[in-house]
Amino acid sequence: MTPNDETNNSGEVDFNDERTLDASAPRGSFPDAFLSIGSMVEGKYRLMDSIGEGGMGVVYKVEQVLLNRQMALKTLTGNEFSESSIKRFHAEAKLLAKLDHPGLVKVRDFGFIDNVKPFLVMDFVQGRTLSSVLKTSGVMPLDLSIKIFVELCFALGYAHSHNIVHRDIKPSNIMLTTPGIDSENEHVKVLDFGIAKLLHRGLNETDSLTRTGEIFGSPFYMSPEQCLGKPVDHRSDIYSMGCVMFEVLTGAPPFSGETSIATIMKHQSEMPLSLKEASMGREFPEEVEKLVANMLEKDPDKRIQSLLDVAQILISIQKGLTGTAILNKAVAVPEKKDSNLHNKYLLYATAALLAGVLGMLVLVYFNQRPSEPRPIESTPDLPSTVWTTVSKDGQTKTFNFPKEFPLGEVTYGMHPGTRLLAQGVVVVPAKAQLLFKPNNLFLSHPQFIRNFRADDISYMDFKDAGITDAAHYSYKIVARVPLTDDELIYCNHLTGLSGIGLKNCKITDAGLANIKGLNLTELNVDGTDVTWKGLSSMDCFKRLKYLRACHLRDGGKIAKALAGSEAIQYLSLTGSDLGDEDLKVITTMPNLVELNVGYNMRITDKGLKYLTKLKHLKAISIDSTSITPAPAMAIFKQMHLTSRPRVTTLGWPPELIEEWSKTWPERE
């Protein structure tokens, strides 16, 4: 498993820096709802143009002056904000800023103009909204619609996994970044998670409609519970997505009244037409009809419960695999059992006593109902036999993966190595150290991991399991990996496993406990929800040679738990709230070769100086910290580095940059 430093010099702020908000500063009202084109915001962003205006906010195209790049800046049109609203905005803007998915517009910065008017800075996205595409081109072909909604489901599913609900899913908030509906390379960006929603959470939903326009949703796409002003969760977004899907496929939303209130009432009381009826006879696969109907269930408990499941269903429809064993889990639309089933049986019994014939019919009906699906482990189509055999001479190992579909990728040999699709018969050297990268199809049934022998693979990397291989499918999707704590239990028999990559998986300390006994030397938990307690409780923790634990809380406690380790050689704690004294702790790790501590603004020249004690340190990444040019240059020269240190050189004097480049020339 090759270390991969994924930090960058984008100039992003530290969203955990509480100095962004001066809570003690005086508050007041902002004199003007609109900002002047050409003016500067916080000395960093020059306003270039106004590109959008709604009932609650104005969006400007701005230039980030130091980096000479275009961004989008959004402010509120209001002019008075309470102290509690400001504090909530600060807390939730930090949460939004942590979302990092190609289908979501990335929040890069936030702050307060004149310490009063809140703003967000986001990536500037070019393209056409789904709304404008529908107006000019009408309904979309089914295959293209599926591609777009798969990406959309994974993007929003990722946000949901971070406990963030959009609450305003509609065609105008969905951007297609490649113009033209006939393109094979359409990509989706979800727009406007909403500065207004950050500031006004807690308002009654229906009150917000009458007070401020469309703060929390648009009547054509609002869920029944949202229309009633009830608290909403991710299932409200699922309903809204169903409304958008309905419109894309038929040309009109499922409900439309003469007024907003009439439309809201229809969401409450009317059943939607089928796609065929609404499109005047256009034929749709039965699975598509069922899926959209289920997403539009009035009761959120009766809807499909995850957009990741919606994506899996759409993928199976696109590939014609609906009904095959591997996709049964994803394709099955859950049905909520009737809580009054007992009463219904009593009614049936009464009917049988009153009318024998009718009673017999009811009895026959229930006897002929299909039985509940068997547990996945006992399904004949999902073999539980071991996949591997070793040749008689002991030179080769053969994997007998399923023939019908790929389950990921097997790699062995020196970088970049030999890469083989995990499908059908795969032959590798018996003693090769194998890296297995499962795909999302594999993780539909993670018990497949049991089909590996204990020593079949040396490394398993789950971070790409949300990517559909572009060589075998006509589109590429990225999602937060659908691996959870419970499913990690399937890995605990892999005693030959040396490394495991869990980047962006939905893993907590409970998941690590399921593999705590493995004798790992390499571990990547970037972007997970594990803590220093979960890491330090692993049997192998002090034996790790490679650890990536970026963007986790309490990075200093992770460092303390590793203190004195003679095994650790590569350590990455990017964006994990480290300070100078934490770097002092890191100097107790004598064999450290590579260190990544970027995006920790509490690190200064004092902390950098501590690191000169590490005699084996060859590479360091310390960009976006608070070190200063001249002292940092002098300290770097005292180290034993063999590669150019990674730092943010913005604002460095030209002569220092030239000296820095000459001292550590770029490798060809």
Domain range list for the chain:
18-123, 128-331, 382-508, 545-668
- Please check the confidence at residue 68 and state whether its pLDDT lies above 70: yes
pTM: predicted TM-score of the whole model, two decimal places: 0.47
Which tens digits make up the pLDDT trace of 609-635? 999 999 999 999 998 889 998 999 999
128-331 CATH choice from 1.10.510.10, 1.10.12.10, 1.10.760.10, 3.30.930.10: 1.10.510.10
Which tens digits make up the pLDDT trace of 525-552? 988 889 999 999 999 999 999 999 988 8
Burial letters 373-396, b for 16+ CB under 10 A, else e:
eeebeeeeebeeeebbeeeeeeee
Say if residues 641 and 617 touch (Cβ distance below 8 Å).
yes
**What gap in Å lies between CA 354 and CA 348, rounded to an integer?**
10
- The top-level CATH class assigned to 18-123 is alpha beta
**What gap in Å lies between CA 238 and CA 296, rounded to an integer?**
8
Say if residues 75 and 35 touch (Cβ distance below 8 Å).
yes
Query: 269-274 long-range CB contacts below 8 Å, 24 or more apart?
Result: 272/246, 272/296
Burial class of residue 197, CB neighbours in 10 A (0-12, 13-18, 19+): buried
User: What is the pLDDT, as a whole number, of residue 593?
Assistant: 96
Greater pLDDT, 593 or 656: 593
For residue 213, the tally of other CB atoms under 10 A from its CB is 12
User: What is the pLDDT, as a whole number, of residue 641?
Assistant: 92
Model confidence at 587, in pLDDT bands (50, 70, 90)?
very high
125-134, 190-199, 339-348, 490-499: segment of lowest average pLDDT: 339-348
- Please check the confidence at residue 279 and state whether its pLDDT lies above 80: yes
CATH of domain 545-668: 3.80.10.10
Residue whose pair of structure tokens reads 């603004």 in the numeric block = 601
The answer to whether the bond into 416 is cis (omega within 30° of 0) is yes
108-117, 400-409, 419-428: segment of lowest average pLDDT: 108-117
Helix (H, G, I), strand (E, B) or coil at 342: helix
In single-letter form, the type of residue at position 274 comes to: S
Helices (H) and strands (E) in the chain, counts: 21, 24
Is the dihedral angle over the CA atoms 605, 576, 541, 437 positive or is it negative?
negative
- Provide the β-strand partners of residue 644: none
Greater pLDDT, 652 or 80: 652
Q: What is the mean pLDDT of residues 514-518?
A: 91
- Please check the confidence at residue 21 and state whether its pLDDT lies above 60: no
Greater pLDDT, 336 or 640: 640
Say if residues 317 and 146 touch (Cβ distance below 8 Å).
yes
User: What is the pLDDT, as a whole number, of residue 78?
Assistant: 61
**What gap in Å lies between CA 72 and CA 123, rounded to an integer?**
6
- Please check the confidence at residue 106 and state whether its pLDDT lies above 60: yes
Model confidence at 169, in pLDDT bands (50, 70, 90)?
very high
- Please check the confidence at residue 638 and state whether its pLDDT lies above 50: yes
- Please check the confidence at residue 369 and state whether its pLDDT lies above 80: no
Concatenating the DSSP letter of every residue in 266-285 gives HHHHPPPPPHHHHTTS----
> Which residue in 68, 61, 67, 33 sits closest to 47, CA to CA?
61
- Please check the confidence at residue 483 and state whether its pLDDT lies above 90: no
User: What is the pLDDT, as a whole number, of residue 194?
Assistant: 53
> Most confidently modeled of 51-60, 82-91, 340-349, 377-386?
51-60
User: What is the pLDDT, as a whole number, of residue 648?
Assistant: 80
32-46, 101-115, 168-182, 472-486: segment of lowest average pLDDT: 472-486
Model confidence at 82, in pLDDT bands (50, 70, 90)?
low
Return the biggest CA–CA distance within the chain.
Answer: 99
